[in-house]
């Protein structure tokens, strides 16, 4: 008789970052399996404890925070200005993004009251501040924000209800340079994140119409979505300049850079610290 781990054992082993070979182990019977489980669990717990100690001794910051710092540094070095806008978004600004009550994204919004929600994206507030910055600063105006966004998702390994978005925008550049610029900026971010195998592919988006998605070269998982203007959404903000913008998910970038299967481990979590399970 050949049997594999029970579902509960599987889950625990995945939490403890067991590798594929261990996860696929087969056993002659339940007794042999349960004994093997105890031994393997003990071994993996020891490794996780060592990783936790290393975090304390060396970096002292989770990967997510370190990636945020690296991206901030590289963007500032490339003349982008960091902005920080509220996490709470008004319904009015959401509507300006064409997201009204009939829009597919509406069912994903966390409402705080009838006209305030947790931002599902950074773009509305970036548009808002750009209206003024375009008036005041010489072009091109380059800004970015990194912060939490919230969407109701049916839980999967690639989505979570709270995730960290980087959104960068360069506005007021020559229209014919947009595609090249988009590729340069995608390269800048992916390189800083340690992702070297990616492709850029045209996609249709519920908010922007056409987007250029940045996908993991191996499994085609979406890492970011880029859009260009002039765009129909710009009219609501009286913006007429040519622009490029990209929104990246930091947890997705980390997943790919670390070869992880679980977005939950990479993000803000009570169960994991820097991807390390805490109930060990
Ligand atoms: P997907 O198709 O993967 O659900 P999306 O196209 O709805 O993503 P965008 O609105 O383009 O997402 O957001 C920009 C980026 O933010 C995505 O490319 C992805 O990296 C990240 N992202 C979006 N939703 C989530 C989520 N629920 N959890 C983690 N990351 C997310
Ligand atoms: Mg997208």
Beta bridge partners of 213: 201, 225
CA 240, CA 125: separation in Å to the nearest integer? 17
pLDDT in tens, 177-230: 999 999 999 999 999 999 999 999 988 877 777 789 999 999 999 999 999 999
pLDDT in tens, 157-172: 899 999 999 999 999 9
Q: pLDDT class for 7, splitting at 50, 70, 90? A: very high
Which whole-number Å values give the CA distances from 251 to 3, 64, 181, 225, 264, in the listed order?
35, 7, 24, 14, 8
Which residue puts its alpha carbon closest to atom 8 of ligand 1?
222
Q: Which domains does the chain have, with CATH numbers?
A: 7-60 (1.10.287.540), 63-266 (3.30.930.10)
Place of tokens 């910051």: 61
Residue 69 alpha carbon to ligand 1 centre in Å: 21
* Mutational pocket test of ligand 1: of 120, 122, 163, the residue with most ligand atoms within 8 Å of the beta carbon: 163
pLDDT number for residue 102: 87
Contact between 226 and 214 under an 8 Å Cβ cutoff? The reply is: yes
| Sequence-distant (≥ 6) Cβ neighbours of residue 24 within 8 angstroms | 4
pLDDT number for residue 27: 96
Residue 105 alpha carbon to ligand 1 centre in Å: 12
- Ligand 1 atom with minimal separation from the 161 CA: 27
Which whole-number Å values give the CA distances from 209 to 48, 101, 124, 145, in the listed order?
44, 18, 16, 22
- Ligand 1 atom with minimal separation from the 203 CA: 6
pLDDT number for residue 100: 84
Pocket of ligand 1 (CB under 6 A): 121, 151, 153, 159-160, 163, 165, 222-225, 247-249, 251-252, 263
More confident residue, 154 or 198: 198
Percentage of the chain lying above the pLDDT 90 cut: 89
Which whole-number Å values give the CA distances from 168 to 105, 189, 191, 252, 271, in the listed order?
21, 10, 15, 16, 30
Contact between 251 and 160 under an 8 Å Cβ cutoff? The reply is: yes
Contact between 268 and 162 under an 8 Å Cβ cutoff? The reply is: yes
Contact between 182 and 212 under an 8 Å Cβ cutoff? The reply is: yes
Residue 126 alpha carbon to ligand 2 centre in Å: 17
Judged against a pLDDT cut of 80, whether residue 155 lies above it is answered with no
Task: Give the ligand at the shortest distance from the Cα of 212.
Answer: 2
- Ligand 1 atom with minimal separation from the 252 CA: 20
Residue 205 alpha carbon to ligand 2 centre in Å: 6
HSE-up of residue 265 (Cα within 13 Å, Cβ side) = 17
Q: What is the DSSP letter of 267?
A: S
Residue 212 alpha carbon to ligand 1 centre in Å: 13
Which whole-number Å values give the CA distances from 99 to 94, 145, 237, in the listed order?
6, 21, 15
Contact between 267 and 251 under an 8 Å Cβ cutoff? The reply is: yes
Region 143-161 average pLDDT: 93
């Amino acid at each position: 008789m050949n049997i594999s781990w029970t579902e509960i054992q599987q889950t625990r082993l995945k939490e403890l970052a067991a590798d594929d070979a261990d996860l696929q182990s087969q056993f002659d019977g339940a007794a042999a399996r349960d004994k093997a489980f105890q031994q393997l669990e003990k071994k993996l717990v020891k490794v996780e404890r060592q990783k936790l100690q290393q975090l304390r001794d060396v970096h002292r910051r989770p990967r997510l925070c370190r990636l945020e710092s690296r991206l901030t540094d590289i963007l500032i070095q490339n003349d982008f200005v960091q902005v920080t806008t509220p996490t709470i978004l008004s319904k009015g600004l959401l509507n300006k993004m064409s997201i009204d009550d009939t829009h597919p994204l509406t069912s994903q919004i966390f409402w705080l009251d009838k006209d305030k929600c947790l931002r599902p994206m950074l773009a509305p507030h970036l548009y808002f501040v750009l209206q003024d910055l375009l008036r005041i600063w010489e072009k091109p105006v380059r800004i970015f924000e990194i912060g939490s966004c919230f969407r109701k998702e049916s839980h999967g390994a690639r989505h979570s209800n709270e995730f960290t978005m980087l959104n960068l925008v360069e506005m007021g550049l020559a229209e014919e340079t947009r595609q090249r610029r988009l590729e340069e900026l995608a390269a800048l971010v992916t390189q800083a994140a340690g992702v070297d195998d990616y492709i850029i592919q045209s996609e249709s988006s519920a908010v922007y119409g056409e987007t250029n998605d940045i996908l993991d070269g191996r499994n085609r998982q979406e890492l970011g979505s880029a859009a260009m203007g002039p765009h129909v959404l710009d009219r609501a903000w009286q913006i007429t300049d040519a622009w490029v913008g990209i929104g990246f998910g930091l947890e997705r970038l980390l997943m790919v850079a670390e070869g992880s299967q679980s977005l939950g481990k990479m993000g803000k979590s009570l169960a994991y610290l820097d991807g390390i399970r805490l109930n060990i």
